[in-house]
Chain A
Amino acid sequence: MTEPIIETANLGRDFVRTEGPLLRRRRRTVSAVQDVGFTVAPGEIVGYLGPNGAGKSTTMKMLTGILAPSRGRVRVCGLEPSRQRTRLAARIGVVFGQRTTLWWDLPLRDSLALTRHLYRVPADLHAARLAELTELLELEPFLTTPVRQLSLGQRMRGDLTAALLHAPELLVLDEPTIGLDVVSKSAIREFLLRLNTERGTTILLTTHDLGDVERLCRRVLVIDHGRTAFDGDLAGLRATAPTPRTLVVDLVQPEAPIVVPGARTVRVEGPRQWLELSTNPAAVVSEVARAHRIADLTLREPDIEEVVARLYRAGREEPTALPRP
Chain B
Amino acid sequence: MADTVVVPYFRLAWAWCRALAQYPVSLTLLTLAQLGTTTVELAALFFVFGHVDALAGFTLHEALLIYGLTGTAFCLADLLMGSTERLGEHVRKGGFDVMLVRPVSPLVQLATDGFSPRRLGKLVPGLVALVVALGVLEISWTPGRMAMVPVLVVSGAVICCSLWVIGACMQFFIAEARELSNAITYGGYALSEYPLAIYGRDIVRAVTFVVPLAFVSWQPALYLLGRPDPLGMWPWLRYASPVVAVLLCAVAALTWRVGLRHYRSTGS
**Could you tell me which A residues sit within 8 Å of B by CB distance?**
15, 57, 61, 64-68, 85-87, 89-90, 92, 94, 96, 98-101, 103-106, 110, 114, 117-120, 146
Q: Bound state CA distance, A196 and B18, in angstroms?
A: 36
Contact A61 to B97, CB < 8 A, known contacts A67-B263, A90-B103: yes
- What's the least CB distance linking A101 to chain B, in Å? 5
Report whether B102 and A89 are in contact in the complex, using a CB–CB cutoff of 8 Å: yes
Residues A103 and B265 in contact, CB atoms below 8 Å apart: no
Show 25 A/B contacts (Cβ-Cβ < 8 Å), sorted by A.
A57-B268, A61-B97, A65-B100, A66-B265, A67-B264, A86-B103, A90-B103, A96-B94, A96-B98, A98-B268, A101-B98, A101-B102, A103-B15, A104-B19, A105-B19, A106-B15, A106-B19, A110-B18, A114-B12, A117-B7, A118-B8, A118-B12, A118-B103, A118-B104, A119-B102
User: Which A residues are CB-close (under 8 A) to B98?
Assistant: 96, 99-101
Chain B residue numbers with a CB within 8 Å of A87 are: 103
Distance between Cα atoms of A155 and B97 in the complex (Å):
18
Q: Which residue of B lies closest to A99 (CB)?
A: B94
Residues of B within 8 A of A (CB): 3-4, 7-8, 11-12, 15-16, 18-20, 22, 93-95, 97-98, 100-105, 261, 263-265, 267-268
Chain A residues whose C-beta falls within 8 Å of the C-beta of B267 in the assembled complex: 57
In whole angstroms, how far apart are the Cα atoms of A254 and B12 in the complex? 65
Q: Bound complex: CA of A105 vs CA of B76, how far in Å?
A: 25
Beyond A57-B268, A61-B265, whether A66 also contacts B15 by CB under 8 A is: no
CB distance from A253 to the nearest CB of B (A): 47
The answer to whether A86 and B105 have CB atoms under 8 Å apart is: yes
Q: Report the minimum CB–CB distance from B44 to chain A (whole Å).
A: 36
Q: Which residues of A contact B102 (CB under 8 A)?
A: 89, 101, 118-119
What total of A-B pairs shows CB separation below 8 Å? 74
Contacts A61-B265, A96-B98 given; indicate if A119 touches B15 (C-beta within 8 A): no
Q: Shortest Cβ distance from B236 into chain A, in angstroms?
A: 40
For B95, what are the chain A residues with a Cβ–Cβ distance below 8 Å? 99
Report the bound CA distance from A106 to B94 in whole Å. Answer: 20
Assess whether A103 is in contact with B97, with CB atoms less than 8 Å apart.
no
Q: Which residue of A is nearest B22, CB measured?
A: A105
CA distance A101 to B100 in the complex (A): 11
Q: Which of A86, A90, A114 has a CB less than 8 Å from the CB of B11?
A: A114
Q: What is the CA–CA distance of A146 and B4 in the complex, to the nearest angstrom?
A: 27
Residues of B within 8 A of A67 (CB): 263-265
Return the chain B residue nearest A166 by Cβ. Answer: B103
Q: Is the CB of B18 within 8 A of A106?
A: yes
Distance between B215 CB and nearest chain A CB, rounded to angstroms: 32
B103/A89 in contact, CB under 8 A: yes
Assembled-state Cα–Cα distance A120/B267 (Å): 31
- Which residue of the partner chain B has the closest CB to A94? B101
In the assembled complex, the CB of A51 is this many whole angstroms from the nearest CB of chain B, namely 13
Q: What's the Cα separation between A110 and B102 when bound, in Å? A: 17
B3 / chain A contacts, CB cutoff of 8 Å: 120
Within the assembled complex, what's the spacing in Å between the Cα atoms of A295 and B102? 57
Give every chain A residue within 8 A of B264 (Cβ-Cβ): 15, 67
Q: A181 CB to closest chain B CB, in angstroms?
A: 22
CA distance A118 to B8 in the complex (A): 6
For the complex, what is the distance from the CA of A300 to the CA of B135, rounded to whole Å?
Answer: 86
Complex contact B11–A66 (CB within 8 A): no
B104 and A146 contact, CB distance less than 8 A: no
Chain A residues with Cβ below 8 Å from B20 are 105
Q: In whole angstroms, how far apart are the Cα atoms of A85 and B267 in the complex?
A: 21
In-complex Cβ contact of B103 among A61, A105, A119 (8 A): A119
Shortest distance in angstroms between A227's beta carbon and chain B's nearest beta carbon?
19
Of the candidates A15, A64, A114, A120, which one forms a contact with B15 in the assembled complex, judged by CB atoms under 8 Å apart? A114
- Residues of the A chain whose Cβ atoms lie less than 8 Å from the Cβ of B7: 117
| Assembled-state Cα–Cα distance A126/B242 (Å) | 43
> Nearest chain-A residue to B96 (Cβ)?
A66
Task: Compute how far the CA of A92 lies from the CA of B101 in the bound complex, rounded to whole angstroms.
Answer: 9
Docked-complex contact B103 and A68, CB < 8 angstroms: no
Complex contacts, B261 vs chain A, CB 8 Å = 68
- Which residues of chain B come closer than 8 Å to A89, judged between CB atoms? 100-103
How far is the CB of A171 from the nearest CB of chain B, in Å? 12
User: How far apart are B223's CB and chain A's nearest CB, in angstroms?
Assistant: 40
A98 touching B11 by the CB < 8 A rule? no
